[in-house]
Amino acid sequence: MEQKRVLILGAARYYSACIEAAREAGFFVVGIDRNEKAYAAHLCDVFEPVDIVDKAAVLELAKRYQVHGVIPINDYGVPTASYVSQQMGLNGIDSQVAEVSTNKELMREAWIEKGISCPKVAVATERKEFLEAIKFVGFPCIFKPAHGIGGASRGVVVVKSMEEMDDAITFTQSFYSDKATLVESFIEADIEHSAEVLVYQGEAYVAAIGDKVKTPLPYRVDKNVIYPTALDAMAESDLSEAIKEAVLALGIDNGMAHIEVASTKTGPVFFELGARCGGGGTANPIVKFATGIDIFVEFVRISCGIPPISTKPKKRLACNYHFITPTPGKVIAVNGLDAMVHPDVLDFELFTKPGDEIKEVKVGTDRSGFIIVGGQNRVTVLERGYELERQLNFRYE
C-alpha cells in the first residue's frame, strides 16, 4: 500500500508527540511552521518554513508533495486546512464550516438555530452596546472576544456588576484588533468539561471527556483537566450524545473536534468548539494514555480518507493536565526540577526561567508550565499534580 503523505500545520514543542505518532503509524510527515527553527522541525520527514495562515503558499507546498491529508493542530490552521483540502479534493471540512468553527459569534448562531443549548448571548463593540447586552443577559455575565482565535482563554472575564464593566471591556478588547465581544450569561455549572470527538463520514465518536478545575474568578483559565470524567455511566452517555449532536450541528462531517461544555442541573450547555484536536498534550500523551485511542493518528487517517481504527476507549486510566501557577513576582531561580523525574509524570515543561516576571493568571499564557500526571484514579492524579507543583521552589527578588 502506498505510504500516505500528510501535511501537519505547525511544528512547535506542543506538536512534537503528534508528529512522532504520525510517523510511527507509517505516515510520511511534511511539517510547516513560520519559525524556521521550530522545535519539532527535525522530527518531520520534510520540514518547510511556511506560515500556516498563508493559504496560497501552503497549497503550493501541498501540491508539490502531493499530500493525501492536511491536518490543523490549532485554530489558526483550520481555515487553511479546509481551503487546501477543498482545492485538492481531500477529506476535510468545507470553508463555511471552517469559518463557523473559528468564529464564536457564528458558532452560537448556528447552535441556537439547531436548538443546541448554549448561554444567552449578545454581541457588543461600543460601550452603549455593552449596556444593552448586559440588560439582555443580566449579571453575572462573561465577556469574551467574538472573533478571536488561539484559545488560552484570551480576553475571557466574568463581570458581576456595572462597576466592573469598563475595566472588563478594556481587558477583553486588548487581545485582538477586532473589538466585537460576546456578552453571555454566566452558567452555574455542576462540572465544566472538554471533550475530544472524532468524526468520519458524518458519524461522531466521543473519545474522551475530561473535567475542568478553573483558576479563581473573574478569569476563566484551566488549572487542571482531569480524565476520565467523574460523571456516572448514564450521565456520561447522555452527555456524549449531546456532544455528538453539537459537533454535527456545525457541519463537521470529517475530522475532529475539541469542544467545551458544562453539565448543569438542566442539562448540558455548550460554550465553544475547535475543529481540531485539543491543544498541547491533550491528544498525546493524555487521551492516548487514558483511553488507548491514539486520536491524533485517527485524525490523520480520517484526513486521508481512511476509516478510523479505534474510536471507543480500550481502557479507563486517569490523567491530569495540571498547570503550574506560582505566586507572582520576578524569579531569580527555580529549584526542585528533579522532582519531575517521576514514574507518574508523562510530560512536564516549565516556561518560566530566571529573570522572568510571573504575572497574575488572567489568560492561559500567564501560566508557568504544566505537569501531565498519569495513574489509576482521578483523586490520585489530581493530588499528585498539586504535590509536584509544591516541590517546585520559585525564588524571587
What pLDDT, on the 0 to 100 scale, is given for residue 395? 95
What pLDDT, on the 0 to 100 scale, is given for residue 37? 95
- pTM equals 0.95
Whether 366 and 281 map to the same domain: the answer is no
**Which residues does 160 contact at the CB level (< 8 Å), separation at least 6?**
139, 140, 218
* 3-class secondary structure, 198: strand
How does DSSP classify residue 3?
A: P
Which residue ranges in the chain fall short of pLDDT 50?
none
Full residue range of the structural domain in which residue 138 is found: 120-185
Q: Is residue 209 part of a domain?
A: yes
Whether 86 and 152 map to the same domain: the answer is no
How does DSSP classify residue 219?
A: B
Q: Is residue 156 part of a domain?
A: yes
Q: Is residue 216 part of a domain?
A: yes
Pairing mode, if any, of strands 28-32 and 5-9? parallel
Residue 386 sits in a domain whose CATH number is 3.30.470.20
Whether 151 and 264 map to the same domain: the answer is no
Task: Residue 281: name the closest of 175, 360, 371, 179 by CA.
Answer: 371
Instruction: Give helix then strand counts, H and E, for the chain.
Output: 11, 19
Whether 196 and 285 map to the same domain: the answer is yes
| Span 235-245, pLDDT tens digits | 999 999 999 99
What pLDDT, on the 0 to 100 scale, is given for residue 184? 96
* 3-class secondary structure, 244: helix
User: What is the number of domains present in the chain?
Assistant: 4
Q: Is residue 280 part of a domain?
A: yes
d(CA 86, CA 92): 7
Whether 248 and 328 map to the same domain: the answer is no
Whether 156 and 269 map to the same domain: the answer is no
What pLDDT, on the 0 to 100 scale, is given for residue 1? 59
Q: Is residue 307 part of a domain?
A: yes
Whether 262 and 331 map to the same domain: the answer is no
Which residues partner with 143 through β-bridges?
157, 183
What pLDDT, on the 0 to 100 scale, is given for residue 241? 98
334's grid cell: 527555580
Q: How many other CB atoms sit within 10 Å of the CB of residue 66?
A: 9
What pLDDT, on the 0 to 100 scale, is given for residue 150? 72
d(CA 169, CA 167): 5
Whether 306 and 215 map to the same domain: the answer is yes
What pLDDT, on the 0 to 100 scale, is given for residue 135? 96
Whether 257 and 297 map to the same domain: the answer is yes
| Span 267-286, pLDDT tens digits | 999 999 999 999 899 999 99
Choose the final residue of a domain: 316, 349, 370: 316
Whether 220 and 285 map to the same domain: the answer is yes
Whether 261 and 247 map to the same domain: the answer is yes
Sign of torsion, CA 371 350 363 217?
Answer: positive
What pLDDT, on the 0 to 100 scale, is given for residue 39? 94
